[in-house]
Amino acid sequence: MKAGTRQIFEVHGGQLRMHAALAGGISRTQLYSLRDRGDIELVSRGVYRLSDLPALGNPDLVTVSLR
């Protein structure tokens, strides 16, 4: 993963919504590629997180807080 892309995720606590990624300069294609390579994971529709973060205790709370 490029350092700039990772930095965008880290600024947002390692979790990012699609619209924030697009606003930060990450394209949809890049997001899907990162997901397919395993660099990020889909938490719920439109919510992504770095895959090397500790496991979520309650993924539903993360989703609700980001929406």
pLDDT at 54: 80
What CATH number should be reported for the domain whose range is 3-66?
1.10.10
pLDDT at 3: 83
Q: How far apart are CA 26 and CA 23, in angstroms?
A: 7
**pLDDT 10s digits, 30-63:** 999 999 999 999 988 889 999 998 876 555 455 5
Q: How far apart are CA 58 and CA 5, in angstroms?
A: 25
Domain ranges across the chain: 3-66
